Amino acid sequence: MSDNWIRASEISTYLYCRRAWWLKRKQGAQPQNVHELQKGTAYHRQHGRVVVQSIWARRVAYLLLFVTIALFVYQLVIG
């Protein structure tokens, strides 16, 4: 990817500490807290999975609610 692209994470780094952004972007310095960054990445990946699962659970719940209401209305009209 081109050096001209600025990612959202870089904006966050810049807003938190301009010097850290400059050191990483222009000087190629690597962070010292690699273990913590890896733990944070793993946490966000797991959280993302939970969010996706909750979205699908909500969709299934809406579908079941719709089917239940449709069956109830069907029983009222036919029965």
Output the tens digit of pLDDT for each of the chain's 79 residues.
Answer: 456 788 888 898 899 999 988 888 888 888 888 899 899 999 999 999 999 999 999 999 999 999 999 999 999 999 7
Instruction: State the pLDDT at residue 3.
Output: 64
As a whole number of angstroms, the distance between CA 55 and CA 14 comes to 32
Instruction: Supply the pTM of this predicted model.
Output: 0.57
3-state helix, strand, coil in the chain (%, to 5): 80, 0, 20
Write the CB contacts of 23 (distance below 8 Å, at least 6 apart in sequence): 29
Instruction: State the pLDDT at residue 2.
Output: 57
Residue identified by tokens 């690699």 is 34
